[in-house]
Amino acid sequence: MKIFTLDTTLRDGTQGESVSFSVEDKLLIAQKLDELGIDYIEGGWPGSNPKDKEFFARAGELKLKHSKLTAFGSTRFARNTVEEDRNVQALIAAGTPAISIFGKSWDLHTTRALGVTEEENRRMIQETIRYVKNHGKEVIYDAEHFFDGYNANPAFALRTLEAAQNAGADVLCLCDTNGGTLPGRLTEIFAEVRRRFDGILGIHTHNDSDVAVANALLAVEAGATHVQGCINGYGERCGNANLCSVIADLELKLGHTVVGAERLANLSHVARFVAELANLPLRKEQPFVGHSAFAHKGGIHVSAVLKDSATYEHVSPEAVGNRQRVLVSDLSGRGNVLYKLKQHGLADRLGEDARRELLERIKQMEYDGYELEAAEGTFELLVREALHPGLQFFEVESYEVVTRSSGPADSRTSASVVVQARDGVHSATASGHGPFNALHLCLRKCLSSVYPQIADVRLTDYKVRVLEPRKGTAAKVRVLIEWSDHRKSWSTVGVSDNVIEASWKALVDAIRLELMRLTEHDDSIDKAVEDYCWGV
Ligand SMILES: [Zn+2]
Task: Give residue-wise pLDDT tens across range 23-48.
Answer: 989 999 999 999 999 999 999 999 88
- Tell how far the Cα of 175 is from the centroid of ligand 1, in angstroms: 7
State the distance from the centre of ligand 1 to the C-alpha of 16, rounded, in angstroms: 11
> Distance from the CA of 254 to the center of ligand 1, in angstroms?
24
Quick check: 375 pLDDT over 50?
yes
Q: How many whole angstroms from its chain centre is CA 450?
A: 44
Distance 97 CA to ligand 1 centre (A): 21
Q: Residue 462 above 70 pLDDT?
A: yes
**Which range among 348-362, 427-441, 442-456 shows the weakest confidence by mean pLDDT?**
348-362
Reported confidence tier of residue 469, pLDDT bands at 50, 70, 90: confident
Judged against a pLDDT cut of 50, whether residue 414 lies above it is answered with yes
pLDDT at 527 over 70: no
Residue 535 has a pLDDT of 31
Whole-number Å distance, alpha carbon 70 to ligand 1 midpoint, is 15
Q: How far is the CA of 12 from the centre of ligand 1 (A)?
A: 6
Which residues line ion ligand 1, judged by CB < 5 Å? 12
Residues 125-181: tens digit of each pLDDT: 999 999 999 999 999 999 999 999 999 999 999 999 999 999 999 999 999 999 999
* CB-count burial class (<10 Å; 0-12, 13-18, 19+) for 422: exposed
Condensed to tens digits (0 to 9), the pLDDT of residues 97-107 reads 999 999 999 99
Question: What is the arithmetic mean of pLDDT over 386-404?
Answer: 90
Residue 512 C-alpha to ligand 1 middle, in angstroms? Answer: 53
How close is the Cα of 308 to the center of ligand 1, in Å? 41
How close is the Cα of 74 to the center of ligand 1, in Å? 13
Average pLDDT over residues 333-356: 72
Q: Which residues contact 432 (CB under 8 A, 6 or more apart)?
A: 413, 414, 415, 438, 439, 440, 441
Kindly tell me if the per-residue pLDDT of 333 is higher than 90. no
Please measure the distance between the N-terminal and C-terminal CA atoms of the chain and give it in whole angstroms: 38
10 Cα: distance to centroid of ligand 1 (angstroms): 12
The per-residue pLDDT for 58 is: 95
Ligand 1 center–CA 15 separation, angstroms: 9
pLDDT over 90 at 373, yes or no: no
Q: What integer pLDDT is reported at residue 360 of this predicted model? A: 84
Express as a percent the part of the chain with pLDDT over 90: 66
**In the predicted model, is pLDDT for residue 534 greater than 50?**
no
**Mean confidence (pLDDT) of the chain:** 90
Spatial separation of the C-alpha atoms in residues 217 and 209, rounded to whole Å: 15
> What pTM was estimated for this model as a whole?
0.72
The mean per-residue pLDDT over the stretch 276-304 comes to 83
Residue 531: per-residue pLDDT:
52
Q: Which carries the bigger pLDDT value, residue 186 or residue 306?
A: 186
Please give the pLDDT value at position 307. Answer: 75
As a whole number of angstroms, the distance between CA 220 and CA 222 comes to: 5
Q: How far is the CA of 146 from the centre of ligand 1 (A)?
A: 12
Q: Tell me, in angstroms, the distance from the centre of ligand 1 to residue 255's CA.
A: 26
Interval between CA 205 and ligand 1 midpoint (Å):
7
Q: What are phi and psi of 399, to 5 degrees?
A: -145, 155
Give the pLDDT confidence score for residue 477 in this predicted structure.
Answer: 93
Q: How many angstroms separate the alpha carbon of residue 240 from the centre of ligand 1?
A: 7
Ligand 1 centroid–CA 444 distance in Å is 57
Q: How far is the CA of 20 from the centre of ligand 1 (A)?
A: 16
Taking 80 as the threshold, does the pLDDT of residue 529 lie above it? Answer: no
Rounded to the nearest angstrom, the distance between the alpha carbon of 76 and the centre of ligand 1 is 19
pLDDT band at 335 (very low <50, low <70, confident <90, very high): low
Report the run of H or E that residue 327 belongs to, with start and end. Answer: none
Query: Each residue of 492-521: pLDDT tens digit?
Result: 999 999 999 999 999 999 999 988 888 776
Does position 463 have pLDDT exceeding 90, yes or no?
no
Rounded average pLDDT over 203-217: 98
- Gap from CA of 236 to ligand 1 centroid (Å): 7
H-run or E-run covering 182: none
How many residues in total does the chain contain? 536
Å from CA of 206 to ligand 1 middle:
6
Give the range among 58-67, 164-173, 456-465 with minimum mean pLDDT: 456-465
Going by pLDDT thresholds of 50, 70 and 90, the confidence category of residue 299 is low
Rounded mean pLDDT of 301-319? 83
Q: How far apart are CA 242 and CA 258, in angstroms?
A: 14
pLDDT bracket for residue 324 (50, 70, 90): confident
Tell how far the Cα of 230 is from the centroid of ligand 1, in angstroms: 10
User: How many A from CA of 109 to the centre of ligand 1?
Assistant: 16
At 72-92, the pLDDT tens digits run 999 999 999 999 999 999 999
Query: Distance, CA 13 to ligand 1 centroid (Å)?
Result: 8
CA of 216 to the centre of ligand 1 (A): 13
Residue 371 has pLDDT above 70, yes or no: yes
Ligand 1 centroid distance, CA of 103 (Å): 12
